[in-house]
Amino acid sequence: MIVFHLARADNGVIGRDGQLPWHLPADLKRFKAGTMGKPMVMGRKTFESFPSPLPGRRHIVLTRDRDWSAAGAEVAHDPEAALALAGGGEVAVIGGAEVFALFLPQADRIELTEVHAAPEGDAVVPAFEGWREVAREEFPAEGERPGYSFVTLVR
């Protein structure tokens, strides 16, 4: 089972200069809970955006660079190899935009944080068309923090 985990602004932005363009502690907590103990598939830039590998999870890094390696990363050069490394069970796909696009046809569920803002950004994911919403929790804006929704989508 392939599950996407991402936060996406209303304008499609998911990142700026290798970082999240917002700070939502509840989203980070949800991400941790949803990915703990699972193999995570990500692109090289996503992996390199972490200060160090995230505890309790495998980091399967998809890259075209045949010479790339990093401590804590299991390297794959195509989606099939990444899934083979992950083995059976649930696989968390965590980005970035190119990796989401590669796995979209095979994805089973999307754990989405809709960030109700329109920040500038250089990583964009289009809206998920043809998915059915099965859960939603709304959270209002607070001070500098934008409002957001936790949404679960299935095929």
- pLDDT (tens digit per residue) in 86-135: 998 999 999 999 999 999 999 999 999 999 999 999 999 999 999 999 99
Domain range for 34:
2-154
Tracing tokens 């996503």 back to the chain, one arrives at 46
Give the model's pLDDT for residue 64: 96
**Chain Cα centroid distance, residue 92:** 8
Pairing of strands 147-154, 109-116: antiparallel
From first CA to last CA, the distance across the chain in angstroms is 12
Model confidence over 31-54: pLDDT tens digits? 999 999 999 999 999 999 999 999
Model confidence over 121-137: pLDDT tens digits? 999 999 999 999 999 99
Taking the CA atoms of residue 6, residue 12, residue 115 and residue 39 in that order, the dihedral angle to the nearest 10 degrees is 0
Q: What is the CA radius of gyration of the chain?
A: 15
- Total domains in the chain come to 1
Q: Over range 66-71, report the average pLDDT.
A: 97
97 φ, ψ (degrees, to nearest 5): -55, -45
Asked whether the whole model's pTM tops 0.95, one would answer yes
Give the model's pLDDT for residue 131: 98
DSSP 104: G
Q: Residue 117: give its domain's CATH number.
A: 3.40.430.10
